[in-house]
């Protein structure tokens, strides 16, 4: 190998674009881990985390690395998916009591959930290159946490896709989310049954390249 070829390979390695870290953010029970699992299973055959009807099932960020997603036109991206704990403005241990969790366990869960929110925000400040923001399409998109988080993401100048999740439910209204956040792409999906998930993959390849 000649000197020029060797130099070219060294420079290529030095300036090669790092794998983008895409954070999945949103309120508790918006479907973040369900989406992370579907992406991982569809494109790498893995499962990222466990899901539950109990809020804050995910209380630590879970990263699944080197996932390559290919669009219908042959373009692809290789990303790390970071499934983050649900972000909320307040965690109350009494919320967990309603699900039959014992008081001491509920207090521990609330503390871990609070720590998880802080960890999610640290990732957003330091280690995230783009965001999929999950909103439950059956709920009011103007919730305080959504306004706050979209504002923070915008202040970081991060590319964001809003996933209007749970369109499999009869009272889902993804058009309300489009009206609330017209400045960002909104993709209606059901992460549970996979409805329109391909549209989200297409948007990811286009938006996060």
* Structural contact between residues 78 and 19, judged by C-beta atoms closer than 8 angstroms: yes
Structural tokens at position 184: 């960002």
Is residue 118 scored above 60 in pLDDT?
yes
Structural tokens at position 83: 């499934």
Can you give the C-alpha Rg of the chain in angstroms? 19
Residues pairing with 30 in the sheet: none
Mean pLDDT of 185-190: 98
Q: Which residue has the tokens 């992370």?
A: 36
State the sign of the Cα–Cα–Cα–Cα dihedral 34, 35, 36, 40.
positive
Give the global pTM: 0.81
Q: Choose among 100, 128, 110: nearest CA to 28.
A: 110
Q: Of 186 and 116, which is predicted with more confidence?
A: 186
Average pLDDT, the chain: 84
* Structural contact between residues 174 and 167, judged by C-beta atoms closer than 8 angstroms: yes
Exposed/middle/buried for 115, CB within 10 Å: 0-12, 13-18, 19+?
middle
* Structural contact between residues 28 and 55, judged by C-beta atoms closer than 8 angstroms: yes
Mean pLDDT of 147-171: 96
Residues pairing with 63 in the sheet: 82
Structural tokens at position 197: 């998930």
Provide the H-helix boundaries in the chain.
Answer: 3-15, 32-44, 94-97, 103-126, 144-155, 174-180, 197-207
| Angle, vertex CA 115, rays to CA 110 and CA 121, nearest 5 | 130
* Structural contact between residues 118 and 86, judged by C-beta atoms closer than 8 angstroms: no
* Structural contact between residues 82 and 128, judged by C-beta atoms closer than 8 angstroms: yes
- Exposure of 92 in the CB half-sphere (CA atoms within 13 A): 4
Is residue 142 scored above 80 in pLDDT?
yes
Write the pLDDT tens digit of every residue in 16-72.
456 899 999 999 889 999 999 999 999 986 665 554 554 455 546 788 888 999 999
Is residue 179 scored above 80 in pLDDT?
yes
């Amino acid at each position: 190998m000649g000197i020029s070829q060797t130099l070219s390979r060294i420079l290529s390695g030095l300036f090669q674009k790092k794998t983008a870290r895409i954070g999945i953010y949103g309120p508790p029970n918006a479907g973040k881990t369900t989406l992370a699992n579907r992406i991982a299973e569809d494109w790498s055959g893995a499962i990222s985390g466990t899901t539950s009807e109990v809020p804050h099932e995910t209380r630590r960020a879970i990263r699944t690395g080197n996932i390559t997603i290919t669009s219908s036109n042959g373009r692809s991206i290789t990303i790390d998916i970071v499934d983050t704990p649900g972000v909320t403005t307040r965690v109350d241990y009494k919320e967990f009591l309603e699900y039959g969790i014992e008081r001491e366990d509920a207090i521990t869960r609330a503390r871990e959930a609070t720590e998880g929110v802080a960890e999610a925000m640290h990732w957003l400040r330091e280690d995230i290159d783009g965001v999929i923001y999950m909103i439950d399409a059956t709920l009011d998109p103007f919730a305080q946490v959504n306004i706050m988080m979209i504002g923070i993401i915008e202040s970081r100048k991060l590319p964001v896709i809003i996933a209007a999740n749970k369109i499999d439910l009869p009272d889902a209204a993804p058009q309300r989310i489009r009206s609330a956040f017209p400045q960002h792409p909104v993709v209606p999906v059901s992460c549970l049954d996979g409805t329109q998930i391909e549209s989200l993959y297409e948007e990811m390849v286009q938006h996060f390249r």
